[in-house]
Amino acid sequence: MRATIIIFFLATCYSTSFANDIAILNLDTLQERSVRSSDIIFLGQLFKVDTNNKTLSFHIIEIFKGEIESDSIEIQVNEKNPIYYFDYSLWLVYSNFTVNSSNILNPNNLTRSIDHPEVICAYQLPPPPPEDISHNFFAYLNKWLTFKSVALKDWYFELESLRSFKNLRLAEKKIKPINYMSMFYASTICLLLSLILIIYLLVKQRKTNR
C-alpha cells in the first residue's frame, strides 16, 4: 500500500511538472537572465495563497535586489508559467513590476520553494514510472531522490550566489568614484610649484655667487 502511494506521488509530480511543455534551459543561463530581468528578488516565507485572484503572499526574510518597504508582499502568479506547488515553506522569488505597480512573477519562472526545487525549466526529469515496477521500485525511487537532492543543492547554491550578488552591489555603492581630473589638476599644480621653487633657488644661488 505504501509503495502504491509513493508511485502515485511520483507519477503526479511528473505529469504536473511537464504540463506546460517548457524547453529545458541551462541553469546558469536561466539564473543570469532572471537576475538581470527581475525588478525584485527575495527570500520569503509563503503564508497565504489566493486561488481566486491567483496571488501568493510572502513574509520577506531577505532582499537581494530591489526595494520592498513592508515586511510582506503579494505577488501575482504569471498565467503563462503557473506554479503547481503552494507549500508554505521558504521560497526564492523573482518578481517584476507591472504597469499598475503590482508585482508579477518573472516569466522565466525561476521562482521555486525549498520543498520543490526541481520544478523549473532547467532540469530534465527522470522518465515516468513504468506500468510494472514491482521489481525495480527502489531503483526507480533512488533515481528520483538523487534528482531531487541535486535540485536542492542547486537551490542552496543559488541562495548563496544571490547573497554574494547583493553584497557586491552594496560594496559598489559604498565605493566613491575616483575623480581623475581633480587628481590631474592637483598633480599639475604641485609640479608647477616645484618648478617655481627650483627656479627661485637657482636664481638666488647665482646672486649669492656674484
Give per-residue pLDDT as tens, 147-183: 888 899 999 999 999 999 998 888 877 655 555 566 5
pLDDT digits (tens, 9 = 90+) for 86-130: 889 999 999 888 766 678 777 667 888 999 888 777 777 777 777
Residues 131 and 208 both lie in one domain: no
Residues 112 and 191 both lie in one domain: no
Chain Cα centroid distance, residue 128: 30
Domain membership of residue 206 as a residue range: 181-210
Tell me what the mean pLDDT of segment 70-91 comes to: 82
Largest CA distance in the chain: 117
What CATH number has the domain bearing residue 26?
2.40.50
pLDDT number for residue 45? 95
Query: Virtual CA dihedral for 162, 164, 167, 169, nearest 10 degrees?
Result: -70
Do residues 79 and 98 make contact, with C-beta atoms less than 8 angstroms apart?
no
pLDDT number for residue 79? 72
> Which residue is listed with cell 536561466?
30
Rounded Cα gap, residues 113 and 152, in angstroms: 10
Instruction: Copy the grid coordinates of residue 54.
Output: 491567483
Residue 189 lies in a domain: yes
Residue 174 lies in a domain: no
pLDDT number for residue 23? 46
